[in-house]
Amino acid sequence: MKRKPILVIEHCEPTLSEWLMLEYKHAAKLWGDKLVFTRVSRKKTSEVLQHLGQVTSKKAKDFYAQRKCVVLDPQAKKPLTSKDCATFDVLIIGGLLGYENPQGRTKTMIADETAFQTRHLGLLQLSIDGAVFVTKAICLGMNLKDIEIAQEIEIVHDAVHSTILPFGYPLINNTPMITPGLVKYLIKS
């Protein structure tokens, strides 16, 4: 990446659940430095997230009011491109867990509150860490249409039980990139 933008995860969930934390940890590992968690109001959550990146209680729209920001929103009209990564200072991803039927929370909780531009990462709803992976691949020069994404994945627990995760999962050598620890967590719970 010639010029690495700041990646913001705007923490919008009321609690830091185990599932959310698994995605945040993986997102932090994927992006590396220049990661900021915004809108973190609880002291305890802030203490935990400080181990993964910079933390502020402010919303991205206020913390980065003077910078060129773009919100990654599934409802955006334009796709994210490598050129965007060179143009924008800050890329904002929602710290939001997905529902089977996407509820447009990125738009209502983040994009609609700002005048920032928006970009999408394809038609499928990705997990937070999946969105970070695809964003990084694009910032490294890939074209969105060349990134393979599985439509959903099935976690098989035993001969009769399984869980369908109805989200897009980037494929690496034909294998879906699942959040580390998520399968163990789903089996346990």
Closer by beta carbon to ligand SAM, 57 or else 102: 102
Q: Are 39 and 60 in contact (CB under 8 A)?
A: yes
Closest CA to 81 of 141, 166, 1, 6: 141
> Closest separation between CB of residue 160 and ligand SAM, Å?
28
> Closest separation between CB of residue 130 and ligand SAM, Å?
7
Instruction: Give residues in contact with ligand SAM (CB under 6 A).
Output: 72-74, 93-94, 96-99, 102-106, 120-122, 124-128, 131
Closer by beta carbon to ligand SAM, 138 or else 161: 138
SS3 80: coil
The single-letter code of the amino acid at 168 is: G
* DSSP run (H or E) holding 170: strand 169-172
Closer by beta carbon to ligand SAM, 55 or else 80: 80
> Closest separation between CB of residue 107 and ligand SAM, Å?
6
Structure tokens at 13: 């969930």
